[in-house]
Amino acid sequence: MQQRPYRLRNCLLISIWAASSFLLSSGITAQRPANMESPPDVLRMPAAEEAGAPPAWASAQAVADPDRGLNWEALGAAEDSPLRAEVRRQAALPHADTSIGVAQIPEKACTSISIDSSFTAAEDPPADNVDDLVTNAQGVYAGTITAVTPGFSVHSPYSLLTLKIQETLREAAGTPSSIFILHPVAHFRVGPYVFCGAPSKSFGDPKVGDQVLIFVYRWVKNGTWMVAPVQNEFLLATGKGLVLPPALKADPRLQVATFSELVQAVRRLMASPLAHPGTTSGGSRP
């Protein structure tokens, strides 16, 4: 199987998407997740709770600490973790900003990125091109982003996108009202400390009101509508146009101008006799 796409950035091996998923992402099962209108503050995997490992997701608001910047115990961050090292580095700098609380910041305010590269790959069906996607995805949904929540996945800054589902092209254990998507582009501050994840140049910078077409291979945890897609499984439409991964952008069948045309193009491909849901096995996710 062709290796999942990766990028090298600042001497760290970065999964294009979910560094958090190494914790135990779940395959699609018959269990129908409970609908949630708002994102969870913290999502821990069962094995992670036993081992004291970092959560798959923690909102910045949930782990903010006015004295230490972040609640390191809640994040499961050891003393030598890259995230703690970044806070120590920033603490040694003069701070003109004495703000408290959590707030989004412009990406141009980022002077460094904080990525923890500790993860393992998974043996999922391929998602290297649109034919793989329409064949192997268990669910395909289109909708509009209604919230962007800053936080951390494992020890890396992430955004959790709330996607209100408006069209179901293929059901995966039902049709949710909303799906929560872990996205590696994030730029926010907690008090005076700035946290920045992957750059938006390659991945897009999703905002409220943007539209998404998502191919679901697995849930982060059974019983939740949370997904951690790799790059090709997430197609974004902003006010400036479509943001497609290079492998999909080069496909003439997806060279369309609008989001609705993109959805229709994928729907036509899904109608092909060769397009049918594959099966996902349990295990972790890159």
Give me the pLDDT at residue 124, please: 74
pTM for this structure? 0.83
Buried-state track 180-214, b at ≥16 Cβ within 10 A, e below 16: bbbbbbbbbbbbebbbbbbbbebbbbbeeebbbbb
Give me the pLDDT at residue 215, please: 96
Residue found under tokens 């409220």: 208
Closest to 99 (Cα-Cα) out of 236, 199, 232, 193: 193
The better pLDDT of the pair 39, 30 is held by 39
The better pLDDT of the pair 1, 207 is held by 207
Q: Which residues pair with 143 in a beta bridge?
A: 165, 212
H helix or E strand, kind and range, residue 261: helix 259-270
Residue found under tokens 């993860």: 119
Beta strands in 44-117 (DSSP E): 57-59, 64-65, 69-70, 102-104
Tell me if 90 sits within 8 A of 193, measured CB to CB.
yes
- For 241-272, write each residue's pLDDT tens digit: 999 999 999 999 999 999 999 999 999 999 98
Q: How far apart are CA 247 and CA 97, in angstroms?
A: 41
* Whether residue 284 has pLDDT greater than 70: no
Using left for φ > 0, alpha for ψ between -120 and 50, and beta otherwise, residue 4 falls in: beta
* Whether residue 111 has pLDDT greater than 90: no
Give the chain's mean pLDDT: 80
- For 196-244, write each residue's pLDDT tens digit: 999 998 789 999 999 999 999 988 877 778 999 988 999 999 999 999 9
- For 58-100, write each residue's pLDDT tens digit: 999 999 988 888 998 888 888 888 888 888 999 888 865 666 7
Closest to 200 (Cα-Cα) out of 110, 134, 261, 260: 110
Helix, strand or coil, per DSSP, at residue 143: strand
- For 159-194, write each residue's pLDDT tens digit: 999 999 999 999 987 778 899 999 999 999 999 899
Q: Where are the domains of the chain?
A: 6-30+41-270
Q: Decide the pairing of beta strands 26-27 and 42-43.
A: unpaired
Could you report how far apart the first and last alpha carbons of the chain are, in Å?
14
Closest to 116 (Cα-Cα) out of 169, 152, 150: 152
